[in-house]
Amino acid sequence: MLNSRVLVLNRSYLPVHVTSVKRAFALLYQGVAKAVDEQYRTFDFDSWRDLSIEVQHERLGIVNGFIRVPRVLLLTAYERVPKRHVRFSRFNIFARDGNTCQYCRKKLPRTELNLDHIIPRSRGGMSTWENIVCSCHHCNRRKGGRTPDEAGMHLFRRPRRPEWTPFSSEMFSLRRYREWMPYLSQVDSAYWNTELIQD
């Protein structure tokens, strides 16, 4: 339970992060954030602790009883609006391609996929949105250091820079909670992942 996820909003109610329940309680206790309930009411640590716990709410045992697990936190001072730039990263490439091999069209877990340069790097291929696709290990080995045409393989879809934002479309494949839904529909920010270096 302590490692399950909590959505963090900035002061203007835009999602900016997902953290653990353990960290969420630390932020709440320190006064850095407030818990948000289903009616969009905000609570500091003491008032959240005193809030009655209904049967359907998740809760944790504490010294004097139980405390409801918050699923949404509102930061009290953070107002920055996330950038509207979709980062060039492994996560975002997997999200753009729907975790689907762009050669054989099999949807697979990310552990069974890798990134393939359409024009191989050994041939001057660049690491750009337009030259990298998801591929399964089998197709990647089959293609080798050739172009898809040379290998007799065809791309399912021509790659391009996405205009959507993976933060809202997939949330890193984490379990999403019903309490998050009112905030996710308005997200327009690429997020959290390390940006790859483009050639």
Tens digit of pLDDT for each residue in 27-76?
A: 999 999 999 998 899 999 999 988 867 656 788 888 878 889 999 999 99
Residue 138 pLDDT: 97
Mean confidence (pLDDT) of the chain? 82
pLDDT for 18 equals 84
Summarize pLDDT for 51-61 with one digit per residue, the tens.
Answer: 867 656 788 88
Interior CA angle at 92 toward 91 and 96, to 5°?
125
Which residues neighbour 143 within 8 Å (Cβ) at sequence distance 6 or greater? 103, 116, 135, 151, 153
Separation of alpha carbons 99 and 196, rounded Å: 18
What are the structural domain ranges in the chain?
5-81, 90-151
CATH number of 90-151: 1.10.30.50
